[in-house]
A and B are shown apart, each in its own frame.
Chain A
């Protein structure tokens, strides 16, 4: 997502610059809201625990303190005048980025889901196929060979040589 890098070139149109500042404000607002919500959640959790006093702090004291600071920082990020400019994400970039995120996150998650159900070899093959899905210039054979090499190599290194306890093949669905 190269377009999210801030640009400062002077020859950009004025209107575009204003749009960029607005976009930067929106970024700040999203981040500020996120931090504020997390901070508020921390305060709520802290209040549900014994709080204690400054001299004898309970488990709730520190989260409330930190949550409070986080809310203040969230507000500051949202409200203070912003210094950076950000070009709005282009739709094509956004779509491509979303596919990449999904592929990588799904590959990791699928491995976690499958490793105890089907074993290491099958989980690696699935993870490789999912993670390489966004790459157009890769033939089926290429993906397959990569998957098999990684599966066999990982089995030899981690299970055989290092003794990590996980099954190569198994089936407990």
Chain B
């Protein structure tokens, strides 16, 4: 394993990988800071770029956007009180009050340290568990996979949503959209309206950019220029006191543990981990009254949790091929576009992808440390670019990206179509992430449903007779029951709009 890690590190430090990793984390930080556009849309926009490089390098870049956005998102939360991503919403609660007290530099510094700590611990867990989990998962058959996909879909849709019924409806709609194109067994086309363009189904990038990017652009067209709480931050103002350190290290460890566990479970991910970490810190604190007024524990705990969760989220994504959230789903889909099937065989068949990616996390997090502490002043200046210059640029990149996939204008029209659909669904309070999850996992769900029933002579009881499959289904039932009983309470303040 050690030699694998070394060869992975050698790959991650090769010129190409290093450059694309740097592009990924820088862009991620930038995107994460902009409240207008989330990592989801940014990754979708850059998937076409991966066609021009080695797939492992491409994935390194996409992953870099994802965890880079987590760092950038917390900067926006602390300085602007505007969460750049849903996962960093909770950082606003105590991060922004710290800015108001003139302690922005310390908040940013400790956030970066906490994020780094969480990421590295998450990475160690990823490297430690993923290969052995792969071996265990090899025993899974179609019934297990069907139930696991179902669980992944339900868990990701029902975690932290205000509208469980709508989220489930979006999964189902996504499953339907995923069945567009030639049937995998017979080659008979479905829902193609005799158009050759739809033979392979919807172009994933056009779909994802339309669904996530376009509605975000539309609702931010008139965003006024943002104003930061701190004009400039000198490095000397960033150094935390011994008291800050003393109060932060335990929350960081607790947050990391919470994040690492939740991240590895399919479907829960970072948002839930940050909420749980924050409430834990508030409960165990000797000074709960300080929370909401600039308690540093309320920043460092959730930030560690978020970043640990992002790293461990790669465990189910890479070893099972079951993504935990929409971003991971897009990474799975990108791997498949490049002919790499995420699943139990990934680690042994594509060691460069797995070990190179894992090692790139280390490289990327070190780069982020540099980007976020010495270079923070640069970012603060970038934050003040008016959106009216940014969004036409984003539109142009979206168009070029969509066009370059098949060099066909049809994909650009598809962006328009799904953009309009996505905006309409957003107005009707439907979360877009489950729709994408359904689209990507739909074909997998259908294949395993067909295969499982074929082997079992059409007897649906096969799903509950196999113990592992039955356990997954029981969790599904529990999730649905929990969602029904939660209906009575008023909705939580955290929505997945920016997911």
Chain A residues in the interface with B (C-beta under 8 A): 1, 4, 6, 8, 27, 30-31, 35, 38-39, 42, 45-46, 49-50, 53-63, 66-67, 69-70, 73-74, 76-77, 80, 83-84, 86, 96-97, 100-101, 103-105, 107-109, 111-113, 115-116, 120, 123-124, 127-128, 131-132, 134-135, 138, 146-147, 150, 154, 158, 162-166
Contact = CB atoms under 8 A, between A and B. Distances in A.
Contact of B176 (A70, A146, A166): A70
B402 to A, nearest CB: 8
A109 B206 CA distance: 13
A96 B52 CA distance: 40
Contact of A30 (B163, B428, B454): B428
Nearest to B391: A131
B395 A50 contact: no
B412 A108 contact: yes
Nearest to B174: A66
B139 interface: no
B221 A138 contact: no
A172 to B, nearest CB: 13
Interface string B393-432: 1011111100110010110110110011001000111100
Given A63-B179, A97-B218, A108-B419, 7 more contacts: A4-B427, A62-B446, A63-B191, A73-B168, A131-B395, A154-B400, A158-B404
B471 interface: no
Contacts of B393: 150
B450 interface: yes
A110 to B, nearest CB: 9
Contacts of A154: 396-397, 400
Contacts of A104: 214, 217-218, 221, 395, 419
A131 B389 CA distance: 11
Interface in B184-243: 185-186, 188, 190-191, 214, 217-219, 221-222
B176 A66 contact: yes
Interface in B159-180: 162-163, 165-166, 168-169, 172-173, 175-176, 179
A9 to B, nearest CB: 12
A157 to B, nearest CB: 9
Contacts of A45: 190-191
A100 to B, nearest CB: 4
Nearest to A165: B407
A162 B52 contact: yes
B367 interface: no
B487 interface: yes
Nearest to A123: B399
Nearest to B188: A59
Chain A contact surface mostly: helix
Nearest to B49: A162
A55 B454 contact: yes
Contact of A164 (B175, B398, B404, B415): B404
Interface of B: 49, 52, 162-163, 165-166, 168-169, 172-173, 175-176, 179, 183, 185-186, 188, 190-191, 214, 217-219, 221-222, 388-389, 391-393, 395-400, 403-404, 407, 409-410, 412-413, 415-416, 419-420, 423, 427-430, 446, 449-450, 453-454, 457-458, 460, 487, 490-491
A55 B458 contact: yes
A104 B218 CA distance: 6
Contacts of A80: 165
Nearest to A112: B412
25 contacts: A35-B173, A49-B190, A55-B457, A59-B185, A62-B179, A62-B450, A63-B176, A66-B179, A69-B172, A70-B176, A83-B487, A103-B221, A108-B399, A111-B412, A112-B403, A112-B412, A115-B403, A116-B409, A127-B396, A131-B221, A131-B395, A132-B392, A134-B221, A147-B392, A164-B404
B176 A84 contact: no
A74 to B, nearest CB: 7
A54 B349 CA distance: 34
A166 B399 contact: no
Contact of B190 (A53, A59, A83): A59
B214 A105 contact: yes
Nearest to B443: A62
Given A116-B409, A166-B407, A105 B420 contact: yes
Contact of B169 (A57, A77, A96, A103): A77
Nearest to B399: A111
Contact of B395 (A57, A59, A76, A107): A107
Contact of A77 (B166, B458, B491): B166
B416 A128 contact: no
Interface centre among A77, A111, A138, A158 (most CB of B within 10 A): A111
A1 B165 contact: no
Contacts of B427: 1, 4
A112 B413 contact: yes
A38 B176 contact: yes
A55 B453 contact: yes
B395 A108 contact: yes
A40 B61 CA distance: 41
A147 B427 CA distance: 30
